Amino acid sequence: MRLEIGNFPVREVRFGETTAYSNGILTINKEEALKVVMEDEHITEADLVIACPGDPVRIVPVKEAIEPRVKVSGGTMFPGVTNELVPVGWGRTHALKGVDVLVVGKHWGGFQDGLIDMSGPGAKHTFYSSLKHICLVADTDEEFERYEQQKKNHALRWAGHRLAEYIATCVKDLEPETLEVYELPPITQRSPEVNALPGVVYVMQLDSQMEEDGYNALVYGWDSNHMLPTFMHPNEVLDGAIVSGSFMPCSSKFSTYCHQNNPTIKRLYQEHGKTINFLGVIMSNLNVNLEEKTRSALFVAQIAKSLGAVGAIVAEEGYGNPDVDFIKCIVALEEAGIKTVGITNECTGRDGRSQPLVALDERADALVTTGNVSELIELPPMPIVIGELEALARDGLSGGWEGCVRPDGSIIMENNAMFCGDTICGFSRKRMAEF
């Protein structure tokens, strides 16, 4: 399967008469863009606001990030979600780089939403302070969940996906500045040199712990709670087959942007044919009971073994009881003779002294960790707030609490509410150390 991603780096975003891209400048016709947003009658009000790295801006409650992209050939963007259900991961996709559509609640947040500081001491806490954001700031009439802590954020998230595609449509017929090619032939049709290299799989454990539909990460539109681990081509992940969920505490989350740009997949691609034979992705999930956790681990190990993998990376989109899925999966792979490395975050508590993962095993002897969900973060006031700051304290964000927003606008919060703060997909430079 061969996927070409044509890159259009964005140096500046501005509003103007027509939505267009030229010489690194992305211009958006706000009225036309908002029409695409308002296609969903549940959206009651919406605005677009631009925020750039270094701006004195705090954004909260952030629900989702999407890289603006359009399919030039081969499939649709977000199949089974906002577009027809067809295979992706092949053909040509055009992408606006260095920029995202950021979905922000105008008022209301929830457990799964997060915060981004674009400058100051808060900026180092998330990779997302380094992107230019086209913030879709909106509200909906989804009264059933307005005061619920857990929100599906359906209307807003889907509007973000439509908007991202609408914006990128302006580069559909243009020549990209650079072209990335992702190509992996079928496993049985690789050269003897490649086949002689150690086979490696990347196992993704998607956030899928809500039994009710509408909260979990989607695989071609299918709720990842309702699936058994399955084999996927990495290009499918990079090309919009996976849409982020709306449940996990925010710092542990993979946004849709994280999937589209997954740096671990990209690095495995770089190693392919040199040091490893990258076999592909085993798409797995995080479950709510022991039997389901065990079953998923068993399927992952079986698929990996059948593919001839001798090495694996397991990435966990979550913490707490999902650590059981994570450790079980690593142990199952190790028991199948597959050398495994895990990547996750920790929950060592505000004092740093809690057991980092709730389940442990000596066979999980190679782990990379990207943050402490309960690290306490105190930040000064920020001149500009996009969204509503009080949401952090009022709406049950996983890292906020009553009183955590002070009258002067300064805040104290747990990393839990930092938008994709731990980027377990691999962006994180942050790590853990003993003090």
Q: Which 254-273 residues touch other proteins, going by CB under 8 A? A: 263-264, 266-268, 271
Which span (6-14, 37-45, 88-96, 370-378) binds other proteins, by CB under 8 A? Answer: 370-378
Contact pick of 20, 341, 385, 412 for other proteins (by CB under 8 A): 341
Which span (21-29, 67-75, 85-93, 419-427) binds other proteins, by CB under 8 A? Answer: 419-427
40 or 148: CB nearest other proteins: 148
131 or 312: CB nearest other proteins: 312
R_g of the chain, CA atoms, integer Å: 21
Near other proteins in 119-138, by CB under 8 A: 124-125
415 binds other proteins (CB under 8 A): yes
Least separation in angstroms between CB 134 and other proteins: 25
Which strand ranges, in their side-by-side order, compose the sheet holding 230-232? 230-232, 277-285, 199-206, 311-316, 339-346, 367-372
43 or 210: CB nearest other proteins: 210
Least separation in angstroms between CB 319 and other proteins: 8
Which span (44-52, 295-303, 350-358, 379-387) binds other proteins, by CB under 8 A? Answer: 350-358
Least separation in angstroms between CB 326 and other proteins: 11
359 binds other proteins (CB under 8 A): yes
361: left (phi over 0), alpha (psi -120 to 50) or beta: beta
Near other proteins in 294-323, by CB under 8 A: 310-313, 320-321, 323
CA dihedral 140, 143, 144, 145 (to 10 degrees): 60
CA dihedral 252, 258, 264, 266 (to 10 degrees): 180
- 166 CB-near residues (< 8 Å, 6+ apart): 19, 32, 33, 36
Contact pick of 207, 375, 388, 393 for other proteins (by CB under 8 A): 375
140 or 264: CB nearest other proteins: 264
Contact pick of 174, 358, 385, 412 for other proteins (by CB under 8 A): 358
351 binds other proteins (CB under 8 A): yes
Contact pick of 234, 240, 356, 387 for other proteins (by CB under 8 A): 356
**Residue where the block lists tokens 């989804």:** 142
Joined together, the tokens standing for residue 303 give: 């698929």
170 or 237: CB nearest other proteins: 237
426 binds other proteins (CB under 8 A): yes
Q: Is residue 215 classed exposed, middle or buried when 0-12, 13-18 and 19+ CB atoms within 10 A define those classes?
A: buried
How many whole angstroms from its chain centre is CA 89? 17
Nearest to 202 by CA among 232, 243, 227, 228: 232
Per-residue exposure over 308-321, b if at least 16 CB sit within 10 Å of its own CB, e if not: ebbbbbbbbbbbeb
Joined together, the tokens standing for residue 242 give: 């996976």
147 binds other proteins (CB under 8 A): no
Near other proteins in 4-63, by CB under 8 A: none
Q: How many CA atoms lie within 13 A of 184 on its CB side?
A: 27
Q: For residue 48, give the H/E element and its range.
A: strand 43-51
86 or 366: CB nearest other proteins: 366
CA separation for the pair 66, 294 (Å, rounded): 32
CA separation for the pair 286, 153 (Å, rounded): 20
Report in angstroms the alpha-carbon separations of 159 from 59, 165, 218, 351. Answer: 18, 10, 16, 40
Near other proteins in 188-217, by CB under 8 A: 198, 200, 209-212
Near other proteins in 157-186, by CB under 8 A: none
227 or 359: CB nearest other proteins: 359
218 or 313: CB nearest other proteins: 313
Which span (26-34, 171-179, 233-241, 412-420) binds other proteins, by CB under 8 A? Answer: 412-420
144 binds other proteins (CB under 8 A): no
